[in-house]
Homo-oligomer: A and B are copies of this chain.
Amino acid sequence: MKVGVLFSGGKDSALAALLLSPFAQIELVTASFGIMPNDAATLAQILGFRHVMISMEKELAMTSIDTMIKDGYPNRGLNQVHKTALERAAKSYRFVADGTRRDDKAPLLTLREARSFEDRMDIDYIRPLLGYGRRTIDGLAAELLEIIYGECISFDYEVELRQLMESSYGHETVNRVFPRRHLQSKVTGRKIANFRAAKA
């Protein structure tokens, strides 16, 4: 089976793709508003996977930002964008995957939303990390991937939304809606030696 895996360049989506890779043909799919330059294609090449960009409209970004400002927190707005990214991918792939995890808050589809997504688009939606806790994922990622961590190293759609919110509504609004700056991760390589599928 060929699976389109939503890929941000970060540790979780890269690990999701790796876990599927012995059993499926993987294509990494990066959804972007085209607001910032994006190095996902380079990272995908480093990981050894084919890569596709999907563009999302700036109107969706503004709607999602409005939702975030109204809510005072980003979760619902992020989910709107993530669902759109999944639906775009579902137009090109019969199997669609992402890196959402058991301990994620957002973006994360509920069980009902996941089933509805599958039924509506007639695709299979796979979340390889949904049955993994944070500690297991961090351990596996460290074993299989070269990763750097930092505050401003990623260029996924969340960073684009933050950037767009800043330029439209100012720094104070961003700080109110995204209270804590959390450490981002970026995958810079694959530890082939620890990858049994590659050794076998």
Contacts and interface: CB of A to CB of B under 8 A. Distances in A.
Interface of A: 1, 19, 21-23, 95, 100, 102, 111, 114-115, 118, 124-133, 135-136, 139-140, 143-144, 195-198, 200
A33 to B, nearest CB: 26
Number of copies of this kind of chain in the complex: 2
Given A1-B140, A124-B133, A129-B131, 6 more contacts: A23-B195, A118-B135, A124-B135, A126-B131, A127-B130, A127-B131
Please classify the interface of chain A as helix (H, G, I), strand (E, B), loop, or mixed, using the class held by over half of its residues.
Answer: mixed
A94 to B, nearest CB: 10
A22 B135 contact: no
B131 A23 contact: no
B130 A23 contact: no
The 10 closest A-B pairs by CB, nearest first: A127-B131, A130-B131, A22-B197, A197-B197, A124-B136, A22-B22, A22-B196, A130-B130, A197-B200, A200-B200
Given A102-B111, A102-B114, A200-B200, A195 B22 contact: yes
Given A197-B200, A200-B197, A23 B133 contact: no
B196 A23 contact: yes
Given A139-B1, A144-B23, A197-B200, A128 B125 contact: no
A128 B131 contact: yes
Contacts of A100: 131
A137 B168 CA distance: 45
20 contacts: A1-B139, A1-B143, A19-B19, A21-B196, A22-B195, A22-B196, A22-B200, A23-B140, A23-B196, A95-B136, A102-B111, A102-B114, A102-B130, A115-B133, A124-B136, A125-B133, A126-B131, A128-B131, A130-B131, A197-B197
Contacts of A143: 1, 23
